[in-house]
Amino acid sequence: METRYALTVGYVSNPLHIGILLLIALLLFGGKRLPEIGRSLGTGMREFKDSISGNTPPEPPQQLTPPETATPVAQPTERETV
């Protein structure tokens, strides 16, 4: 008896089933939300793996804003300039 290993997600082993699930997800969430959902799932899985293995990813550089040096000057209104 030969055992075949295929791409399986739970009981989904047929590529047609995977396609149907992707079509349902597209109909439920729409084309604009699917990349956001995938990105957030990937980030969550990466953080989970890092917390399990004990690795900490490097912190992203923070954007520093320059301090406000110039004070705003009130512009004269039309009535004041006449």
**How far apart are the C-alpha atoms of 46 and 61, rounded to whole Å?**
19
pLDDT in tens, 48-76: 998 888 776 666 667 766 666 666 666 76
Confidence band for 31, pLDDT divided at 50, 70 and 90: confident
**Is pLDDT at 6 greater than 70 in this prediction?**
no
Identify the three-state secondary structure at position 12.
strand
Residue extents of the structural domains in the chain: 31-56
**Nearest alpha carbon to residue 21 among 5, 40, 7, 4:** 7
- Confirm if 10 and 19 have CB atoms less than 8 A apart: no
Question: What's the pTM value of the predicted model, to 2 decimals?
Answer: 0.42
Confidence band for 44, pLDDT divided at 50, 70 and 90: very high
